[in-house]
Amino acid sequence: MKEKIRIAAAQGFWGDLPDAPVRQVEGGPIDYLMLDYLAEVTMSIMQKQKARDPNAGYARDFVPLMRRILPACVERGIKVTANAGGVNVRGCADAVVDVARDLGLGGKVRIGIVTGDDILPRIDELLSRGIELRNMDTGEPLSTVRDRIQSANAYLGAWPIVDALKTGAQIVITGRATDTGLTLAPMIHEFGWAADDWNRLASGTIAGHIIECGAQASGGNCQFEWRSIPNLADVGFPIAEASPDGTFIITKHQRTGGWVVIPGIKEQLVYEMGDPHEYITPDCVADFTTIQLEYEGRDRVRVFGIEGRPATQFLKVSISYSAGFKAVGTLVYSWPDAYDKAQAADRILRARLDRLGLKFDQVLTEFVGANATHGPLAGSPRNDAPEVQLRVGVRGENRSAIERFTKEIAPLILTGPPAVTGFAGGRPKVEEIVAYWPALIPKEEITPSVEVLDA
Amino acid sequence: MKVQLVKLAHARSGDKGDTANIGLIAFSDAIYPVLVREVTAERVKQHFKGICYGEVDRFELPNLGALNFLLHESLGGGGTLSLMTDAQGKTFSTALLRMEIDLPEDEAASLLASV
């Protein structure tokens, strides 16, 4: 058994720094590269892409990235775990196989494919058997949005990824797998942890939580003494150095920017946290109130003492559904009296929308530079502000009403208050809203599947 | 005397649906029990009047010197439904740091010295 493994985070979301994975591979020793691509509504975007083109439906960036780093990964034995497969895991894996052969790495790369998360074709059958897939937040039954569903995926945990690694796969590509599972699986695989070793599973899960948002654990978006954080231009992404006993060290490559400090790790630990006593994943329930932190050197924080409890009998399901349309229009008003002018423009705009008889589910006005982020807590807006941006958003089921709204913004320049600019981008775009519906499904309903492809 | 939380703590916030979460982290061990005493769920609900329309839950993490708050019905429907600039509640952290708590002079002085 290895004494320690180094798992490097390389993408905190689909669209994170493009060179981060390359720098993690080139910047020093690592054993695993972990890439999290899937936000809550990403699956629905991919589902749409696949409907138009059966070869699409996955994180396309992953393939050119593999072209850049695969030779180094093969040479140094670095394994990759990524939920880049979206709703077309096989298509993603096929594309990576082509890249491997192209690079002359045929016979040297095995790819593990984890599927079984996609329950879109099974929705009616599940509902008919009384599995209601009620919205976890609102309690509503799924039948209220049944005809508008665009994607439905269960979150798979670490174990199917472990099975894929056991086949000798160098790259494991999943669909909707939890971001924490992508980090925990290598630890289970390398250290032989048992399925009921709850404390260690919770440790690996928390390691995953810390590094899953990329540089947010190594100096990015860090409030603590933010002016002192060195060289964010060259920020190093976090690396979890895990030990067989479940303890781990968060660090980053030497000679990179950013920092790994206890206050920064604490900020990431509380990020998107619910009840800290029960952080629920498919693999375990982790207790964040047991986490201990200490320095083990510069840019090295040791994490230990973590306790966990048995996993629940359910998996979370992420369902996306079409929920109408929205558009946001903006204009910028300058000194003097910028805030008063922006307010006046908002009143004029709303009067015109009323006169047109347009109906919206919601109209929201914000004044950027005055109160858009802190609302009433920001105090009374000052009229000597150098500029204020008027930002008006509308939302509704009726696309033509939203379209009409987008035509009412630019005319305010010639027909409203003075000293206004900021319309260079043209008319606001009408966006289809794809909303998120979280639900639970009994674990026995989901059977993960693991396949292997050899380049 | 009134002390603003920004002098005593740092924070990070995020979203789960229409709920914003704010983790409030004490700058020192001495400050944490004062946050537990002063920054109650009720006070946070008052502070976010006109922003948070639901309940506020509070959880304690003494091991991290941190409190976690859940502010329900705060993000204009949440996720893609929200029209807000800050639909993900990212800046709720600093909005909480605007809160002022009233402390005896000597306690305030010793806490500020502990940072």
Q: pLDDT tens digit string along A45-74? A: 898 899 899 999 999 999 999 999 999 999
> Do the chains contact at B21 and A376, CB–CB below 8 Å?
no
How far is the C-alpha of A297 from the C-alpha of A427, rounded, in Å? Answer: 53
Does A430 reside within a domain?
yes
pLDDT in tens, A148-171: 999 999 999 999 999 999 999 999
Does A230 reside within a domain?
yes
A430 CB within 8 Å of a chain B CB: no
Residues A87 and A161 in one domain: yes
Look at residue A381 in the predicted model and tell me its pLDDT: 87
Residues A324 and A295 in one domain: no
Residues A365 and A220 in one domain: no
Distance separating the N- and C-terminal Cα atoms of chain A = 28
Statement: residue A431 has pLDDT above 80: yes
Q: Which of A214, A190, A206, A167 is nearest to A34 (CA)?
A: A214
Residue corresponding to tokens 């016979």: A107
When pLDDT is cut at 50, 70 and 90, the band that residue A39 belongs to is: confident
Does A128 reside within a domain?
no
Least confidently predicted of A45-49, A177-181, A446-450, B73-77: A45-49
Determine the structural domain holding residue B31 and report its residue range.
2-114
* Sheet with strand B9-16: strands edge to edge: B9-16, B19-26, B66-71, B56-61
When pLDDT is cut at 50, 70 and 90, the band that residue A411 belongs to is: very high
Residues A304 and A367 in one domain: no
Region A20-41 average pLDDT = 94
When pLDDT is cut at 50, 70 and 90, the band that residue A204 belongs to is: very high
> Do the chains contact at A391 and B62, CB–CB below 8 Å?
no
Q: How many domains does chain B have?
A: 1
How far is the C-alpha of A396 from the C-alpha of A324, rounded, in Å? Answer: 6
Look at residue A370 in the predicted model and tell me its pLDDT: 95
Which stretches of chain B are assigned E, i.e. beta strand? 2-4, 9-16, 19-26, 56-61, 66-71, 100-102
Does A250 reside within a domain?
yes
Question: Contacts of residue A438 in chain B, CB cutoff 8 Å?
Answer: 17
pLDDT in tens, A277-329: 999 999 999 999 999 999 999 999 999 999 999 999 999 999 999 999 999 99
Determine the structural domain holding residue A77 and report its residue range.
5-117+155-312
- Paired strand residues for A295: A301
pLDDT in tens, A86-121: 999 999 999 999 999 999 999 999 999 999 999 999
- Closest CB to B12 among A41, A270, A368: A270
Report in angstroms the alpha-carbon separations of B97 from A226, A381, B9, B13: 15, 19, 7, 11
Statement: residue A41 has pLDDT above 80: no
- Paired strand residues for B11: B24
Residues A177 and A306 in one domain: yes
Does A294 reside within a domain?
yes
Look at residue A425 in the predicted model and tell me its pLDDT: 77
Q: Which of A282, A317, A322 is nearest to A118 (CA)?
A: A317
Residues A240 and A357 in one domain: no
Residues A296 and A352 in one domain: no
Give the pairing type, strands A248-251 and A301-304.
antiparallel
pLDDT in tens, A249-259: 999 999 999 99
Region A132-143 average pLDDT = 94
How far is the C-alpha of A356 from the C-alpha of A352, rounded, in Å? Answer: 6
Residues A260 and A343 in one domain: no
The interface residues of chain A toward chain B in range 314-343, judged by CB-CB distance below 8 A, are: 323, 326, 328
- Distance from the B102 Cα atom to the nearest Cα atom in chain A, whole angstroms: 18
Residues A330 and A247 in one domain: no
Region A338-352 average pLDDT = 98
Look at residue A96 in the predicted model and tell me its pLDDT: 98
Residue A453 sits at φ, ψ, to 5 deg, of -125, 130
ipTM score of complex = 0.98
Residues A169 and A284 in one domain: yes
Residues A325 and A213 in one domain: no
- Per residue, the 3-state secondary structure of A203-254, as one string, reads HHHHHHHHHCCHHHHCCCCCCCCHHHCCCHHHECCCEEEECCCCCEEEECCC
Please check whether residue B13 is in contact with residue B91, taking contact to mean a CB–CB distance below 8 angstroms: yes
Residue ranges for chain B with pLDDT beneath 50: none
Look at residue A48 in the predicted model and tell me its pLDDT: 84
User: At A438, is the secondary structure helix, strand, or coil?
Assistant: strand
- Quote the tokens at residue A38: 């899937």
Question: Which of A43, A273, A431 should be substituted to probe chain B, the one whose Cβ sees the most B Cβ atoms within 10 Å?
Answer: A273
Question: Contacts of residue A396 in chain B, CB cutoff 8 Å?
Answer: none
Statement: residue A337 has pLDDT above 90: yes
How far is the C-alpha of A145 from the C-alpha of A148, rounded, in Å? Answer: 5
Which stretches of A335-442 are assigned E, i.e. beta strand? 362-368, 387-396, 420-421, 431-442
Does A133 reside within a domain?
no
How far is the C-alpha of A189 from the C-alpha of A158, rounded, in Å? Answer: 10
Statement: residue A454 has pLDDT above 90: yes
Domain boundary pick from A312, A327, A346: A312
What is the phi-psi region of residue A421: left when phi exceeds 0, alpha when psi lies from -120 to 50, beta otherwise? beta
Q: Which amino acid is at A49?
A: Q
Residues A339 and A373 in one domain: yes
Report in angstroms the alpha-carbon separations of A358 from A37, A392, A400, A433, B106: 38, 15, 9, 19, 59
A379 CB within 8 Å of a chain B CB: no
> Do the chains contact at A270 and B66, CB–CB below 8 Å?
yes
Q: Average model confidence (pLDDT) for chain A? A: 96
The interface residues of chain A toward chain B in range 181-220, judged by CB-CB distance below 8 A, are: none
Does A148 reside within a domain?
no
Least confidently predicted of A36-40, A340-344, A407-411: A36-40
A93 CB within 8 Å of a chain B CB: no
- Would you give the DSSP letter of residue A73? H
Look at residue A40 in the predicted model and tell me its pLDDT: 75
Q: How many CB atoms lie within 10 A of CB A125?
A: 10
Does A304 reside within a domain?
yes
- Distance from the B39 Cα atom to the nearest Cα atom in chain A, whole angstroms: 16
